[in-house]
Amino acid sequence: MVMALDGIKVLDLSRLAPGPHCSMLLADFGADVTLVEAVPGASAKLGGANALRRSEGADRAAAYNALGRGKKSIALNLKEEAAREIFYSMVKGADVVIEGFRPGVVKRLGVDYDALAKINPRIICCSISGFGQTGPYSNLVGHDINYISVGGALGVTGRPGQAPAIPVNLVADFAGGGLTAAFAICLAIIAREKTGRGQNVDIGMSDGVLSLMTSAFSGFFGNGATIRRGEMLLNGAAPFYNTYECSDGRWFSIGSIESHFWEALCRVIGTEDLLPKQFAQGEWPEMTERFKGIFKTKTADEWMAIMSQYDICAATVLEMENVVTNEHNIARNMIVEVDSPIGPVKQIGVGPKLSDTPGKPRYSAPLIGQHTDEILAGLGYDSAKIATLREAGAVG
């Protein structure tokens, strides 16, 4: 089966979630991804806690590590000249290098874009960092919560008068970081077909978050309208775009914005008297309280069974254990089984559905350094040389 990124070779130096998520997306569509991981013990900051030690626990951890699926692993201590020479040899035949260190680290290691472009002018280097490679925040440390703070997403999330609601680290790490990086890399690959040259890609997760806020800021730039927590139609103020607790303690979501959806909702739950008051914002709090009482009369599944019969924007708020058994998610192949050393394991499937070159998780994540010997042999190193490199701590 032909895959969209067949023949694209990626070297992934990243450690934390955004980089591995990016290279997982590329691997799912056929890219040949090699994790260039730290030799265990070589550097606490560069990672390397799970060395190649076959055990039931290690194999199980790797099997369920979806971010590492479809990849190979070589362990290199890039502080050693011999390891850098190995990496340079790999770069000669590569298309993409991904890194997620703090700005300046790859330059100190001698594996930055300027150095690698001299070896391979077609190389595309993608740096993923919290605040990007430039600007007054570029050297600041941070995590998802900090990037969504600067990017504006955290400030608009939550209920009025309450602290901002902290989402799981999806917005910056995975959307603003990993997904944006994968998109940018594909753009650079297409551009290379026109220019014949690679380029440097600078992904700041706070930039990615702010990009996701483009529509929200259109109103601000146009008429000065600001979004405050829980005070606008789309973030919790409207009764018809909200969540409600049901009789079983689970939650149900309503998104009936358009007039015909609002009309259907009111007729089903017996609030026809509210039909002309949909956008009477002064009455929204009272309407919301009324809705709360109504939704408390049935379970979430009962409401779903009722709502799904009509043209109403509604859905049960699924807990994780229910997400993976949901009939729609299963039908869309979003829950899949992936081969691993411990047998088939369940993982989340591939989001984009391409008709001719579909993506597919091909095999589970490797242990650190699992393919070191294989890769070095492919570069021309014999077993004696590999043993010497390993003894010197250059490879693992």
Q: What is the enclosing helix (H) or strand (E) of 315?
A: strand 314-316
β-strand partners of 35: 12, 73
Rg of the chain over all Cα atoms, to the nearest angstrom: 25
Contact 230, 236 (CB under 8 A): yes
Residue type, 70: G
- The answer to whether residues 367 and 74 touch, using CB atoms and an 8 Å cutoff, is no
* Active site (annotated) includes residue 6: no
Q: How far is CA 384 from CA 387, 388, 390, in A?
A: 5, 6, 10
> How far, in Å, CA of 47 to CA of 36, rounded?
11
Please, which residues bridge with residue 367 across strands? none
Instruction: Please give the single-letter amino acid code of residue 256.
Output: S
**Catalytic one of 28, 95, 173, 207:** 173
Q: From residue 169, how far is each of 24, 137, 162, 272 by CA, in Å? A: 17, 20, 20, 40
Catalytic residue among 143, 301, 339, 373: 143
Catalytic: 28? no
CA–chain centroid gap for 200, Å, is: 21
Tokens matching residue 162 = 């309450």
Which one, of 27, 64, 9, lies nearest residue 365 by Cα?
Answer: 64
Look up residue 395 and give its DSSP letter.
B
Which residues are known to be catalytic? 143, 173
